[in-house]
Amino acid sequence: MGKTVLITGAASGFGRGVAFGLARRGHQVIAGCQIWPQVWELRNAARADGIEMQVIKLDVLNEIDRARALELDIDVLHNNAGIMESGPMAEIPMAVFRSVFETNVFAALELAQGFARKMVRRGSGRIVWTSSVAGLVKVPFDGAYAASKHAVEGICSALHEELKPYGVEVVTVNPGAYRTGFNDTGMESMDQWWGLGERVVEHWPVRELDRQHDPAEMIAAMIDVIEAEDPPYRTVRPESAGEMVRKEQALVWDRKA
């Protein structure tokens, strides 16, 4: 039987791929987009592909949009919307840092709380949260994003244990580096403010993003997690990223100042 799935951040990247993939597989998809032009574009793209999909405006930072979304009756919330802002922790403007947490942590948690309450009353439901490999390891010059995803990991770990007795499942999906454009623009983002004041540390080394993976792999994994009868709590892709995480976490115990 098909599921009713709400996906935030569905206008592009993983969210878009998961929305189209689930709709093709017969699920009732509600795709949330941040701004109205994205809503229009996604509706037209779905129509052109002959896909039935409900597309709504859902800026996770917008209280009205969240309230409208919480009127929906869904089986699965895919908390996928997120932003990336780069820069050294000693220099990144606090307003920029806060913006990352507002989107990736606070707004996402408000949605999760709202749907969790409905799921608890019903006795069933699943919250799938797009975390990141960055939530499991250190990421120099991308500390704001990594910190937000470490927060997501803490939230999901607690939610998993708190909601399990009520029949509500909480799981994470943890992408590594994939060619969605997210990493590229995230790396570029610090250039918006870097030259607007005196800096005491060096600009991070320019890295060529030429080793990113095909996002189809991660999209397929996300769809599997949403559809699975008994999904794993954490799904890391690619496999090489999972191996890296285990090694790096072990090394932290012996790290020196």
Residue 39 · residue 112 · CB < 8 Å: no
31: its two tokens: 């795709």
Catalytic site positions: 145
- The C-alpha atoms of residue 174 and residue 176 are separated, in whole angstroms, by 7
Q: Which of 153, 12, 177 is nearest to 81 (CA)?
A: 12
Residue 141 · residue 88 · CB < 8 Å: yes
